[in-house]
Each structure stands twice: as C-alpha cells, then as structure tokens.
Structure 1
C-alpha cells in the first residue's frame, strides 16, 4: 500500500494532469452517494465539520475521504482541513493507497475551479483577484494561472499583512501577485474573482462586476454562509459543480433559492453538463458568469487515482 504525505501528494498532482483527470471523471459513470456531513461542537470555538465522502468507478477503483474541518485551527497554527483519503481496488477491494487529505482537497478544489474557468471565463482573462489568504488561495491562483493568460493577481484579505505574505509565496511560483488594500477597487477591474473564505456575510457585490467577469466561489461551504450578494446572483449566469451539493450546502446558492431571488431552473448547468456539452458555458464576451463549488467526491477519486498511478509509475521506473 502506498502512503503519501503532504509533499508527495502535491508532487503527484500537477495541475495540468489533475484538471484533465477531473474533467474525465465528471464525464464518467462513477457512482457518488450522498456524503455524510456532520456538525461537531467545539466548546468555546466555532463548530467543526466532519465529512465522509465515498465514490467509486465500478470494477476499477473505489475510495472514501475522511475529513475534519476546524475553522479555529489557525489559533493553534494548525491547518483548517485535516484528513486522509483511502483508495481501494474496485475489483478486489484491496487497499491501494492512503493519501494526505488536506493537500488532495486543496488541489482538486482549485483544479475544479480552473476547469470551470475553461468553460466560463473569457479566454483573454488577464486580471485575477484572489479573495482570502488561507491554504486554498495559493492553489487557486496557481490553477487559474494554468488555464488563462493571467498577467496580474491581486490578493485581498482582512489582514493586509497576510495578503502581502501570500503574494510573496505566489511570486516564488512565478505568479505576478500583489496585495490589494481595497476589495472593491480590485473587484471592479477583475476578469476573474476567486473567493476562498469562511465568510458568513457577502463580500462580493454584484454592482462591482464588470461585463465579462467570471466569479469563482469555493468558500462559504455551509448553507448559512455566503461570499456573494443577491445582486451578484441576479446579474450572473449561474453554474454549480453539482446540483445536489450546491443547492443544499452552499449559502451562495441555497439562500437565494430559499428567498426566491434564484429559482432552480435559473441555474444554467453543472460541471457534468458542461464537460459533456449538454449545456453551453459562456455564450458572449459581455456575459457575467458565476460558479459555485462545494466539492464532490468524484473530484477526490480522480485526484487519488492520479496520485496513485503517478507514484506507481515513478516507482516502477526506478
């Protein structure tokens, strides 16, 4: 059985290959049962979340991710997301690999956003605004940078010092990043706005969005949380990773559905419909698009298979 730590997982999941693997998985016949999602009380702190996410490709691979999300872990200098992925043979049930879950989650989430951007953002998108300074943000910048000709990245967070430090990390990866003192000023100029926060109140205002902008929402993973306001939803062509997940778990979609600002039939498509051509993506240069992602087990399975097979090839070639 392979055991991959954080560094090994990252090295086994280059974004170009991961984006393609996730695209194939969305178009496949994989089976994705409803995930187990449990709130856990942490006395004196924000509630934590336990996730169990199974998925399988009949006769090929099966897997399950066990993940804990502790929002206040930054107080202990620990990552917010801690977990592991268990990959098994879909033919014999033999355990093949144990993969570090936090890195897998961060990279597959960013890769899914980049895949959505291929269908929804303008091909000439050059200005990216990153909202949030957590672990996922660097992955999102790198993934978006792989699919669009990004020339400028501005990072906004509640702590400008953290934004500046994250910009320094991005520059080391060859990404032209800088801290943004004003979210509104940055957003009004953006071709792509990517959000990865734990915000309970909208950060992105629809009135800020210029024609042709693409909004990528991957934070605010609970139905009470949101990163965009009603105006952003109303002005945008709305797409989701999966209907089941986004309409029930992500407040950016669940709240407007509940209040009547958005109707289910207003959602233009999900990732499977996009990658199979059942629904069109962007239809004009001036269209504002919005993608809400809450994560899907098939993304984890795609990443776990890629990490396993990549590591297996490297071992066999020695």
Structure 2
C-alpha cells in the first residue's frame, strides 16, 4: 500500500479485528497514552510540536444531528473522531475516525468507530485494576451495571485478561432483549464462566424475585458501572474490602452511579484526568485535587511508586473514575489499524491522493 492510498475499515472489518485482537495490545496502548497525558506536559517532538495535543472538542449542529469533532495527537499518531448524536431516536451513535499520515499529511485510513470507544474505555478499566492490584488479588466475580456496548466491552476485556474470573453478573433495571442478548453472547464466548442477569433498581427499592443486589455486590471483586443514572446503583455498605470499582457512566455534575459513602471509603480516587473528572464527574464533586490521582501517574515509571501508594494507602476499596480522553481514541485507533493491515482487512483505495 503506497502513501497515496487509503484504507477503509467498515464496522464488519473492525469487528473482525476485535474478535481476534490480543487484549494486551489494547491495554498497553492505553498505558502509554495515559502516561503521556499525565507526564508529558509541554514536552516537544520538534520545536513548536508538542508530544501530546488535545484541542477542545468542536460541535456542529444540523436539524437532526449534533456532530462532535474530536481531534488529538500523541507522538506518532494523529486522528480525529467524529460522532453524531441524534436529536431523535436512531440506531445508536454513528462514529468514524480519520487517521492521518504524519509525514505526508495525507489521510491514511478511515474506520468505523462505533465499538472503539467501548474498547478504549474497557482497556483503561483493566489497566486501572492492573495498576493497583496486589499480587495476592485474583478476581473471581465481575459485576457489571448496564447492558450496552460498554458493558459488552468491559466483560470481554476483563475475562480475556483475567481467566480467574469464573462468574459474571449483568445487573439491569429491567430485563430487555438487549440485556438478555448480552448475557447469552458473553456466555457463548466464555463457556467456562457462569454468566447471569440480575434485575434490580436500588433507587426504587425493587428487585426481581430471587435476586439479591446487596449479596451480589458483597461477593464482587470488580464492579463496573456504565449507566446514565443520577442516583446510586447499589448500596455502599456491602462492598467488600479490596473491591475495585470502575465508574464509566457519569459525565455531568448531576449524574452519579455510587453513594458518597463509597467514595469516602476510597479516600483517594484514581481518575483518567484530574481536571476533567473534577469538573464533570458527579460522584467527585467537592473533592480536592489532592484526593484525585491520575492513572497516568500510577503507570508511568517515574511516578508509579508514590502515586500507587497514595491511592492504596488510604481507603479499603479502590475507585477508578473515567470520563474519557481524546488521546485514548488516537491510541486505540492506531492499534486497530495496525492489526487490520496485518490481517489484510479493509478496502484499499489506490491512488486516493
């Protein structure tokens, strides 16, 4: 493929890449980009060229859609993800990522990005557990609140990374065709794992007969939440000592997925971005910067020991809060493109430019 060509990856192409993708590649890509985000500062690749560039998100609106343009760069990779948010119901959020060739300045690839946000978030969550877990911790029970693409991505990422997990519980406010399909799909891909659905609403005080939300949470080693809830999804008191929470859903100050008591038990919270989470995460409103430690500080060799000790040395549970960073998209897109090229996937448009 010449530098005048363009590779196009459809959703089917991306699915094929993800079906065979080594999860370690995804996690390692996020490890590198989080470290760069937290430690690169104003470091440059060349005079006037910062190693990490994360401009503000741009927004354009049409009568039917709000279109979000999210450019970013990390050394060696530049991309722009475009996501459309419909004003009325549709088939999800259409998304595409444009990858640039930094040497020629030409577009080298366009890929469907519907599943990439979930992939990058799940890889970040796995990384957060790896960064804080002790050698003695071997997770056995994964509890997930939510039943969408993020839930699917997190289940796959944790199960592929930790074969010790033998039980997965998907918790939903109500049983739906989507939640049932998720349970069936995960069970089919991981036949040695007991996958089940629990239906409960902690805010409403309701639960399906036979499902005990408090007991489920008490047994969990890892709890992942990915909902748009404005109220806590489960009680804090039963969560056992040493449990790890990954909070992905809230992105506005009025949204929250856990009780304040759980945040107090953590004491210090691991975040993807101190600035972004401080402004956007409902669960962290009122916390000082000193109570937030960035994931990049925990995974970077120069700051790892001190940062990890600060998180692990305060509370009896760990919380990772993520609102998402544009540079994560750059990193995960580069991994997917490299794998697609290795597998010969996609449509190559010769002499595009």
Q: Tell me the TM-score normalised to structure 2 length.
A: 0.77
The answer to whether the aligner puts 1:144 opposite 2:158 as a matched pair is yes
Q: Residue 204 of structure 1: CA displacement?
A: 3.3
Stretches of structure 1 lacking an aligned partner (at least 5 in a row)? none
Aligned pair count? 300
Secondary structure class of the residue paired with 1:200: coil
The answer to whether the aligner puts 1:187 opposite 2:217 as a matched pair is yes
Deviations 1:153-183 (A, max 9, x none): 1110011345433211110110431112443
Q: Where do 1:76-91 residues align within 5 Å?
A: 76=90, 78-79=91-92, 81-91=93-103
Secondary structure class of the residue paired with 1:179: strand
Do the aligned partners of residues 42 and 191 (structure 1) sit closer, same or farther apart at CA in structure 2, a change above 3 Å counting?
farther
Q: Where do 1:112-191 residues align within 5 Å?
A: 112-121=124-133, 123-148=137-162, 149-162=164-177, 163-174=179-190, 175-181=193-199, 182-191=212-221
Deviations 1:194-220 (A, max 9, x none): 001111222133223211111111112
Partner in structure 2 of residue 201 of structure 1: 231
Partner in structure 1 of residue 289 of structure 2: 264
Stretches of structure 2 lacking an aligned partner (at least 5 in a row)? 1-5, 41-50, 200-211, 346-353
Residues 197 and 219, structure 1, Cα contact 8 Å, conserved in 2: yes
**Over alpha carbons, which structure has the higher Rg?**
2
Q: How much is the aligned-residue C-alpha RMSD, in angstroms?
A: 2.7
Deviations 1:41-69 (A, max 9, x none): 999xxxx86533221134x3211111134
The answer to whether the aligner puts 1:280 opposite 2:308 as a matched pair is yes
Do the aligned partners of residues 240 and 51 (structure 1) sit closer, same or farther apart at CA in structure 2, a change above 3 Å counting?
farther
Deviations 1:45-101 (A, max 9, x none): xxx86533221134x32111111345974xx4x12x321111101222110111112
- Which structure: greater helix fraction? 1
Within 2, Cα distance between the matches of 1:297 and 1:289? Answer: 24
Q: Residue 315 of structure 1: CA displacement?
A: 2.9
Q: Residue 152 of structure 1: CA displacement?
A: 0.7
Do the aligned partners of residues 285 and 225 (structure 1) sit closer, same or farther apart at CA in structure 2, a change above 3 Å counting?
closer
Answer 1 or 2: higher relative contact order, Cα 8 Å, separation at least 6. 2
Residues 64 and 87, structure 1, Cα contact 8 Å, conserved in 2: yes
